Amino acid sequence: MKKEILKPRKTGEQRKRNHRVSIQKRIKRYIKDGGGGNLNLSGSPVEKLPDNLKVGGSLDLYNTPIKELPDNLKVGDSLILRDTSIEEVPDNLKVGGSLFLEYTPIKELPDNLKVGGDLYLKNTFIKELPDNLEVGDSLDLMDTPIKELPDNLKVSGVLYLKNTPIKELPDNLEVGYNLYLMNTPIKELPNNLKVGGSLNLENTPVEKLPDNLKVGGNLYLSGTPIKELPNNLKVGDNLNLRDTPLSKKYSKEDIRNMIEEKGGYVKKNIYL
């Protein structure tokens, strides 16, 4: 009888090393094949990507040990960096879709950053945004230490600022859809603010609103100390005034009459 030859088991380190090698081979094969589709590396041990990498679809690096991105990285669709150790992104980064940076230690963004879709920065250390930032859809800054926004910022989708220390909004801010300011120290809004969707100011110290404010969706003012409503206030959906001095002093009919006498309107319901 032939003796069975026992092969030594691979150690944990050997397995990790082999996994890293297989991932690098996979990246090379992706590049060789033209780099036209998605490149999903989430949960892998990838630590480095080649310079000048072009990904035609989405690049998913969620929950990987990668700490930096290569120069001249171009991603046709979304770039997912959530739960990584990324501290900065290169100056010339181009992302055609959304950029996911939530739950990373990133502290600042480069000048000239262009994101075709959404930019997610929730639970990061971002304190300010570059002046010429371009975001194609929504901007999520919830639970960050952001204190101010650049002038003339335009957000086509939703702007999330809930649970931030921001105290004021910039002039000429335009938000195409919803603006969330709940639980912030905001006391007043700029005169030329434009909100295409809903405006949520719940549990803020805001005491008054600017004249001619137009909100395309709902206006949430519950839990604020607001005592009067501005001239020419226009609300496309509902007005929520629960737990405010106004809700304790006036009826729904009184509020509606007051708004209309000042040249404004609430198209749907008033909640007290």
How confident is the model over 125-157, as pLDDT tens digits?
Answer: 999 998 888 899 999 999 999 999 988 888 999
Tell me what pLDDT residue 232 has.
97
| Cα 182 → chain centroid | 15
Entry pTM: 0.90
Q: Give the chain's mean pLDDT.
A: 92
What is the H or E stretch that residue 32 is in?
A: helix 12-32
Q: How many residues appear in the chain?
A: 272
Q: Are 49 and 66 in contact (CB under 8 A)?
A: yes
pLDDT at 60 over 80: yes
Average the pLDDT over 181-204 and give the result. Answer: 95
- Please give the Cα distance from 263 to 241 (Å, whole number): 19
The per-residue pLDDT for range 96-128, each reduced to its tens digit, is 999 999 999 999 999 888 899 999 999 999 999
- Please give the Cα distance from 41 to 43 (Å, whole number): 6
